[in-house]
Amino acid sequence: MAPDTRPDASRPGARQASGAGPGARRPGPAATGFVLPDDVAAAAGLYAEPSDPGTKSPEDEGPESSVRFYRPLVYRLPGEPGPTGAVDLLLCFPYDLAPLTGGRAYGDARVGIDFGDSGAQALAVQPAPGSVQPDGTRVAVFGRGHHRLRWEFRPPSAGLRPDGHWCQVLLRLPPGRSGVYCHLSCHVVVRRTLLGRVVGSKAGTRGNFGLRVNVEDAWAARLPLPGLPYPMAAPDGPAPRVRGPEGGHEEGAAGDAPWLRRLFFALDVERYSRRHNTHMARVQRDLWRTARAACAHASVDWHACGRQVSGDGYLLVLPTGISEPAAVAGLLQGVTLAVHAVNTDPERPAGIGPTRMRASLHQGLTCEGASGFLGTAVVELFRVLDAGPLRAALRESAHADLAVAWSDSLYRDLVPHAYPGLDERAFRQVQVDLPEKGFTAGAWIELRARPLGGERPAPAGTEAPDAGNGAPNPH
């Protein structure tokens, strides 16, 4: 995505924290100065608008407030192959209004997304027209079926909260489009009390304000997608297949596609579904930023990875030709540092609680199907990620930010050989049994914790709490 405007500064996210506790490894000095990718896609001031449409506001007046649109989450939906097919994208636009001071509050708000002359068509939108949000805000939406959308939010007397907003669009692009430019706008009513009466003044964005969404940035996904703050139904009619590892596309049916050995890395957020919609929007941003930061930290090419959404988590299919020990160690350290950074972000909303994550690692054959990556190895990866031993390991540790489950085969290939960043003393072996699915497998669990300044990594795997069927690593 290529934003028109960006903030002037990026902020480091790695404050020092204390007390990692037993059972969790810490990153070392690399934690100092760790910077998350900036996910502000476009930002603009909200300037006072005259009550009389025939008059102009003074150009030298500063903004009443501001709005920030964050990088949209982009999902590409499956469909039929072929160059003549349309492309269906699910676009999720998180945005925040700046907090107001001096007794002011937001009244009505209007958000516009215009896809210009791209030929794009909005098949579905959320929040839906006529819906009422949990705080009592009523929603009206205009433009479904066209390229220009407008949401209108009418809050109760308490006003509109400034943060945690989210708009979703199911967009159909015509054949041959590699992306679409989104023209954004935001207009609000600012309420204030004067002489005992509540009065409102209008403010809004000015000029060209927007960002570009590229199809190649999309994650493979299928609807319904459980991780979204709002449910979204599948569109009528197919769209082409999703992007695969290293930019490849399936050439025919799954049986004709090449089956290649890959390294898989899956990432999921603890207790995601228990959060309300406003916090889900923020945690989805946390997950995207964490995955991008981990790849950058490990020198893994983000665009060369196969990417797929599964529920409220992500799957990365790593490219060939990489050093697997270095990539895996870098990814795990990068996730740990990134989770600490998002949790210590000074702009993190109050009451959202800490973000903690589970990860699983496996290897095996896969090919790219019409709706994602196929193969028993991918199925096994997610069964271990979602199984009781890994969930319990994270739940029972008060200090870990990340719990990782390694498949037995990958553990034996990498961990016992003393590669940098991998210490077998931090692991313990567990058995994953899912009799209802006819599945049983061995796995190795390690816990990773937030960093302390200048501290060396310390193995503590044998002190981790038991997570059911677990046994300490005997090595």
Q: Report the share of the chain in percent with pLDDT over 70.
A: 76
With a cut of 50, say whether residue 331 has pLDDT above it. Answer: yes
| Cβ–Cβ under 8 Å, residues 5 and 43 | yes
Q: According to the model, what pLDDT value does residue 111 have?
A: 95
Q: According to the model, what pLDDT value does residue 290 have?
A: 92
Question: Measuring CA to CA, how many Å separate 137 from each of 185, 357, 426?
Answer: 20, 32, 49
Other residues' Cβ atoms within 10 Å of the Cβ of residue 215: 17
With a cut of 80, say whether residue 114 has pLDDT above it. Answer: yes
Tens digit of pLDDT for each residue in 24-36?
554 443 444 577 7
Q: How would residue 308 be classed by pLDDT, with cut points 50, 70 and 90?
A: confident
Choose the most confident range, by mean pLDDT, from 49-53, 130-134, 410-414, 464-468.
Answer: 410-414
CA distance 84 to 395: 49
Q: According to the model, what pLDDT value does residue 312 have?
A: 72
Kindly state the helix (H) or strand (E) to which residue 293 belongs, with its residue range: helix 277-297
Domain 37-220 has CATH 2.60.40: yes
With a cut of 60, say whether residue 410 has pLDDT above it. Answer: yes
| Cβ–Cβ under 8 Å, residues 426 and 475 | no
Two structure tokens written together for 135: 């705080």
With a cut of 70, say whether residue 337 has pLDDT above it. Answer: yes
Q: According to the model, what pLDDT value does residue 468 have?
A: 38
Tens digit of pLDDT for each residue in 74-91?
888 875 444 457 888 999
Task: Judge if the upstream peptide bond of residue 224 is cis by omega within 30 degrees of 0.
Answer: yes
The CATH number of 245-472, from 3.30.43.10, 3.40.50.1370, 1.10.357.10, 3.30.70.1230, is: 3.30.70.1230
With a cut of 90, say whether residue 18 has pLDDT above it. Answer: no
- Return the higher-pLDDT residue of 107 and 31: 107
Q: Report the share of the chain in percent with pLDDT over 90.
A: 39
Residues in CB range of 208: below 8 A, 6 or more apart: 4, 183
- Return the higher-pLDDT residue of 314 and 460: 314
Average pLDDT over residues 186-209: 88
Q: According to the model, what pLDDT value does residue 164 have?
A: 83
With a cut of 50, say whether residue 22 has pLDDT above it. Answer: no
Q: Where are the domains of the chain?
A: 37-220, 245-472
CA distance 39 to 338: 13
Question: Measuring CA to CA, how many Å separate 55 from each of 48, 50, 313, 340, 359?
Answer: 12, 6, 50, 50, 57
Average pLDDT over residues 448-471: 45
Question: What's the mean per-residue pLDDT of the chain?
Answer: 79
Same fold, 37-220 and 245-472: no
